[in-house]
Amino acid sequence: MALTRRGFVKWTCAGAGAALLPSCQGPAVAGRHLAAAETPAASGPADGKPNFIIIYMDDMGYGDVGPFGSKKNRTPNLERMAAEGTRLTSFYAAPLCTASRTTLMTGCYAKRCSMPSVLFPVSPVGLSRREKIIPELLKPQGYATMCVGKWHLGDQPEFLPTRRGFDHYLGLPYSNDMGPAEKPPGPKAAAKKAENANPAPKRPPLPLLRDEKVVQEVAPRDQDRLVEIYTDEALKFIRANKDRPFFLYLAHTAVHNPYHPGDAFKGKSFNGVYGDWVEEADWSAGKVLDAVRELGLAERTLVIFASDNGATKTGDNTPLRGFKGSTWEGGLREPVIAWWPGRVPAGRACDEITSTMDVLPTLVGLAGGQVPADRAIDGRDIRPLLFGEPGAKSPHEAFYYFAGGTGPLEAVRSGSWKYRLKPETALYHLDKDIGETTDVAAANPEVVKRMQELIDKMDKDLGVTGSGPGVREHDTAAKPRPLTLSGEMPVVD
């Protein structure tokens, strides 16, 4: 069983040495995960379609959790998940929020969908209705669908989750730092604001939506309960749909700045308020996994734990270089765990190149659906890798690192090689130099030549600097309005 909220904070570091499971090896005994509970007999939909749960963190770093080497944060539930599942150690997302969620939902590079790195409140921009996203492709297969948490693909009504294949939604439509300032400005800031002839647009209060209706304007103190609220909603959805196939997208606000751990976790970690929130997120993951086990759904449920991008300097991307917003490995290489008892091998690591873009074709294939054939989809079905098939390799010839969402191409990876175009050209061998410290271009001219050929290939598709012929348009709302209880923009001093 996962620790309770109170039990978690009493958990100590006794025997808490990190036990990283060796790459490409089978089951191993981890030093910190909880003892496995007995799994009830499988139940669920008669047609055998699997359930899908994506737990998507916000700004959690590669080295922020125990299965990926954290010595700062206690994450026993994720360690158990990794011991019972597979760690994907070369799994890529995107450097920033909106771009990352675009890649996950569409199976495409954000640039292909013309989605920027970050959307702000009342933006007219949103993900195009012409893009078919995961829930829209699962609904015809009989799936119940729900989005809980951060959306960030457009906050106008036509862009919200319930217009994009989700039966229900509860959450914030964008980041938790996009409401009014948490602290009033000091005298100097106020004077500067008064002198500014073009002040920044006023921000509406953070709106908590249920489906398409604002049910609460979230004050800073209210954010302390977001993980608990989201977790409770996720558990209700799982229980209500235990007898039919379902897709749950649990996109946490945690651990994005400002940090708001719940009361039961405040001051309980050894890593400050950030560690408190990481540990609450681990508690939440444990509650979700426990519900799946207790309902007898474990053998027909794929759970994927991931993060949208790398951590800021507050978090930990060790052993990777760089932080959120960059195209160094620390900006978009994520701590990812896949869990499906009896299907995904336990206690294993896979270092083949995989991506958020692979989630859509993989889930749709497992559900018996079809990926759209009338447009380019960058993701690939990675079932052979997830299921540990002998000799399975990455389906990607290359992975491309675009700045933000629609920005220029800054790097490309193929196999173990990563070639950077900016800030200057450089070649790294990631198997030998995961921290990107030593440029080996001069010693490997043939590799550089091959990487340049891959860059030229992408230039003819999405473009290296500008937009290529493979780029599709986003949608634009005609008259964007703020999401508030009243529907009107409030006065914000």
- Confidence bin at 48 (pLDDT 50/70/90): confident
Q: Is 396 a catalytic residue?
A: no
Strands (E) located in 297-440:
301-307, 333-339, 348-350, 354-355, 399-402, 409-414, 417-420, 426-429
Q: Which of 33, 152, 252, 474 is flagged as catalytic? A: 152
- Confidence bin at 488 (pLDDT 50/70/90): low
Q: How many CB atoms lie within 10 A of CB 451?
A: 24
| pLDDT tens digits along 340-362 | 999 999 999 999 999 999 999 99
Instruction: State how far the alpha carbon of 356 is from the alpha carbons of 59, 63, 239, in Å.
Output: 15, 18, 27
Measured between alpha carbons, how far is 298 from 342 in angstroms, rounded to an integer?
9
Q: What angle do CA 95, 60, 172 make, to 5 degrees?
A: 85
Residue 399, phi then psi, degrees to nearest 5 = -120, 135
DSSP tag of 357: G
Q: Which of 33, 97, 108, 252 is flagged as catalytic? A: 97
What predicted TM-score, i.e. pTM, was given to this entire model? 0.88
* Average pLDDT rounded to a whole number, residues 381-402: 98
Q: What is the CATH topology of the domain spanning 408-470?
A: Arylsulfatase, C-terminal domain (3.30.1120)
Q: How many CB atoms lie within 10 A of CB 19?
A: 17
Q: Is 152 a catalytic residue?
A: yes
- Confidence bin at 41 (pLDDT 50/70/90): very low
How far, rounded to the nearest angstrom, does the alpha carbon of residue 289 sit from its chain's CA centroid? 18
Domain limits, the chain: 49-182+203-390, 408-470
| pLDDT tens digits along 114-159 | 999 999 999 999 999 999 999 999 999 999 999 999 999 999 999 9
Specify the CATH class of 49-182+203-390 in words. Answer: alpha beta
| pLDDT tens digits along 201-226 | 577 899 999 999 999 999 999 999 99
